[in-house]
Structure 1
Amino acid sequence: MASTLFTAQNITVRFLNTMIFQNLDFTINKGENWALVGESGSGKSALLQTIAGNLNIIGGEVNYHFFDDYLHHNPGNPEHLTYHKLIAMVEARHHFKNLSNTGDFYYQQRYNSMDSEDALTVEQYLHTIKPTPQPNQYWHFDKIITTLKLDKLSHKQLIKLSNGETKRLRIAAALLKNPVLLLMDSPLTGLDVQTRKEFNDIISEINASGITIIMATSPYEIPDAITKVAVLKQGAIIHTIAKTQFNASVVMPQLADSVDKDELRSLLNIHPSPESFQQIICMQQVHIKYGDNVILNNVDWQVTQGQRWALLGHNGAGKSTLLSLITGDNPQAYANHIILFDKRRGTGESIWDIKKRIGFVSPELHQYFPTDNSCLQVIESGYYDTLGLFRPSNKDRAAIALRWMKALEIDQYARVLLRSVPASAQRLCLLARALVKNPPLLIFDEPCQGMDAHQQQHFKTLVDTICELSDVTLIYVTHYQHEIPESVDKVLKLEKGVVVDA
């Protein structure tokens, strides 16, 4: 087999009207596994997409040497086979279709019993994956189910998977192809502590099976099997180094962070909440099940105004389902004793009465949020609790939305379509959307996914300052202890749908 698998020489890459790379060189040799690191928007995801052949290369030369080697050793292979078939990509967002393969999932689908059945199960989905003709198929269905611990999920519909479970499934689907190159964009995002520990061993086994790995990841989470690190900045590879010599704190120094407290105080006083509540949330013996599968088992939880909670638990513990009962997205709330903002569910309040009092961000909301609005329009839509702006922009509200963008350091994207900005900037836009109406309750479900270290620290500082300056109630979900704001002083922990710590 050739010692060089892939080369990009002096390439220029364009996406729509944006120049992403100019005069870029990158080589992948046999025996190397690469981690791509860098600040948000530096080009990590774009480099993966370039290697996968998904972006327009308008200059320079790209060679897939591994494909030439494959054809040499498999001369009888069908003519329609291309190098794409030997590459598997795990992107930051999934592209699951409904059961009839006629459309995408929608945000609330997983909680609506009729529509949630319009989805393949994990087992059915994996059986749709067609492996590339290879003489040695190390990764087969049974092997993958065992390695990725999907056995207990095999009969679960895709739409009902948690964020972390979805990530494991997509890695499994990529491995079923037994690719030469495995490209992964932030594969650890959304995984709980235990699964992240296991992921290191999984990556090592993937490498041992002969697959070359290129992954965009945090500089502080580089698996043992990685041998080389490429540091990107503003669309250029500024440094390559052996993993054994890489020091994240030296290569990616922390930037100074500050929040304009006076500006934040002014923003919080624009629409101060005129309401106060005895009970923000009161749940008594809440029990949620789908078929024979119990998701929440007799959960009790009381949240009063001004409290700041961390909601913790492993992937599939029931956190997202619990939050869906609060945000009004889960119809099973009506069959349980749940009080929101001093009012019992099912006593005449509408879903919009609930949503207007909540600022909410989650991985699922990010996954299904339409991307054809500008970032400023996305934030302004927070006033109306709609997934996008479906009415003429209000000049005054747009001005306030822009001030929130400046507070979150993303105002340069105001007129750019959501789909055209980095994933971390998309997440920050949705966070600004949650903040813009100054709701009495903020629910941040894994809000820092995809952010670089500076963005994470700035957001934490912003949240702590908001909590200092207001009586806002906060529910914060994360799998990373260091992401929890200092203002959080209460914990609800779930394990298999049961409260184990409160």
Structure 2
Amino acid sequence: MKKVNIQQAEFLLNQKNRLKIPHFQIQQGDFWVVVGSNGSGKTAFSLVVEGKIPVYSGQYENTFSNIQQFSFEKQQKILEQTFRDRNNDCISPDDFGKTARQTILNGSDHHQLCQQYAEILGITPLLDRPFMHLSTGESRKILLAQTLVQQPDLLILDEPFEGLDQKSVQDWQSLLDILSKQTTLLLIINRFNDIPPTAKQIALLERCELVLQGNRTEVEQHSIFQQLHYAENAIDVPLPESASPVQKLDQNTPHFELENVTIQYADKIILDKLTWTVLPRQHWWIKGPNGAGKSTLLSIITGDHPQSYSNIVRLFGRQRGTGESIWQIKSNIGYVSSQLHMDYRVNCSVLDVIISGFFDSIGVYQRTPDALRVKAMQWLERINLANLAKKPFRSLSWGQQRLLLITRAMVKYPPVLILDEPLQGLDGLNRALVKNFIDQLVQNSATQLLFVSHQDQDAPQCITHIFEFVPKENGYQYVQTAV
């Protein structure tokens, strides 16, 4: 039986990135769907299966004889070439280039196959029209027919739905049902909703690693798959209303102002004349290598650092040390870090983790009003974990635990939410889960986000500004940019 078999393999994409595939096998007659977000390595994966990227380590075996790939990029290149061919003084204004039929045949004599696939794809009326006059959806079907007349025994379709309206996507899914009965299919997409009903196997890519795969039924029963699928449709779903009046800050006053702040211990300078202003409605990504001073910066803006008093540090409009209490500062801030996660050792229920956010406690040690329990359940429903409400916190995946702790920090709608390395310690699947939820929180609330990470791939899409510690000869410079 024909197959592509990949085992414990890495594929070198560039100097920094490798595509990791623990194991993957596509056999004759399979219909695989690979789902991944932008930058997850989907296109590289298709090239790996096709044999276009050599294996760096591990095993790659292929016994298919004719692998063909269809992609949005391929369509763009052909369209661009068509327009370049016409941009010639020797071409008559009435010459519109190749017809759709000529494009499909591409110099071959497969006229019968051309007619056959034109009927299957519903493009017979288009065959004698100029290719360049066709719509995006029509031209894509013509190019698919061009690929099919080459009679592939493995057809890879890389993002075939990109740029198509919903009706066209549904038409394509029906076509794939027909094609899956004739050849082996590998479909690569970025949306769960685009998975065709007839697909037999599903795999997930995240951060250039195949993180989940198998029979469709088994994969769809995976709790994190269900949450990721839910998250795709929940980006605009409102968050539960606050159980108490939401604390609001002056939207005309900077939330944080640091002027020439210097922090040092003996001769060691940690922060050197750092100036930074954080205005309302800005969502900042604080990035930099380990040891650069990110944690020190956070301790200043959360009111914890003792040297703040000897610097110009204004938090929520007040100079540090002018009578405000540490609790007044912290009441404006929700804070989640890997350290908090490690410290949350109380093995209470999932529901109690959310309830503890209303009391700013680790665990619940007092009678909870029914209204708060109802509100906590609403939050669990919003993150698709209501069915786990009675489960022990420690029985959940690490990513689901992190998701709960972020939700716990949000139940009182803090004006500022600080997430300090929130994806640290998470595998690819759980990273995707938490990142999606962070974007949902920001989109559906007035809370301002300060996101801390030194990994370039970690930042959520909602970021508006970047504060970066950039190494220089002696210490770091502080580069601030709007996204």
Rg larger in structure: 2
What is the TM-score normalised by the length of structure 1? 0.48
